[in-house]
Amino acid sequence: MEGRTVEAMTPGEADKYWAEGWRHFGSDLFRSSLMVEEMCIKRQVSLRLDVGTFTPSKSQRRTLRKNGDLEFEFGPARPGEDELALFGVHKERFERNVPHSLAEFLGDRPDGKPCACLQLSVRREGRLIAASFLALGGNSCSSVYAVFDPAESKRRLGIYTMLLEIEHARSLGMESYYSGYATVETSCYDYKKQFEGLSYFDWAGEWRPMEEMAL
């Protein structure tokens, strides 16, 4: 695993880092071709979606319709009491690798360090039930982290926030949407591989269509 600390990135620098397979939580940048899950070593890949060609699948369109009663908005990433309370409920989903705090993923100033970052807030009758955080580059954006209320799990809010982020990226004229890591082998991140227009970083400097990724 590689890691480095970057206190500030220009939009162009953010594009370059993401295109080279880097992710970041706050100012901590990292990338790795392997990960451990359930005592197994798995091959890890970074994922990138072509915003211009993306079309939601049939099940993703159902998810959008199912959540048509919700209110959502994008704004600066400035999590407060509601977001921290939601994170406290969200982390109860985990039995292993339980996250400690939202700052673990967002750093101490998520609205501008190391780059601009937006917060997507999803509410049901005024109550915050999901939030996600989207870092902005020049012609690309990177989904950092998302939290949701497990009591609303039937709504598939993790997929829903990704769909809203992709559509917002399109409205901003972004070309690429980085959705994080997944693994070649089956893992808990398989839901990220279910989006059209995906490519993966082969760790040799090339982005390849998902169809070329073989076990």
Residue 162 to residue 166: CA distance in whole angstroms:
6
Look at the alpha carbons of 138, 118, 49, 28 in this order and tell me if their dihedral is positive or negative.
positive
CATH number at residue 119: 3.40.630.30
pTM score = 0.96
Q: Which two tokens stand for residue 196?
A: 């059209």
List alpha helices for the chain, DSSP H.
11-19, 58-66, 81-90, 103-106, 157-171
Question: What pLDDT score was predicted for residue 98?
Answer: 76
Question: What pLDDT score was predicted for residue 214?
Answer: 75
pLDDT tens, the chain, 215 aa long: 899 999 999 999 999 999 999 999 999 999 999 999 878 999 999 999 999 999 999 999 999 999 999 999 999 999 999 999 999 999 988 777 778 899 999 999 999 999 999 999 999 999 999 999 999 999 999 999 999 999 999 999 999 999 999 999 999 999 999 999 999 999 989 999 999 999 999 999 999 999 998 76
Q: Identify whether the C-beta of residue 29 lies closer than 8 Å to the C-beta of residue 3.
A: yes
Domain that holds residue 161: 2-212
DSSP 214: -
CA 175 to chain centre: 16
Count how many domains the chain has. 1
Question: What pLDDT score was predicted for residue 215?
Answer: 61
What DSSP line would sit under 132-144, residue for residue?
Answer: EEEEE-SSEEEEE
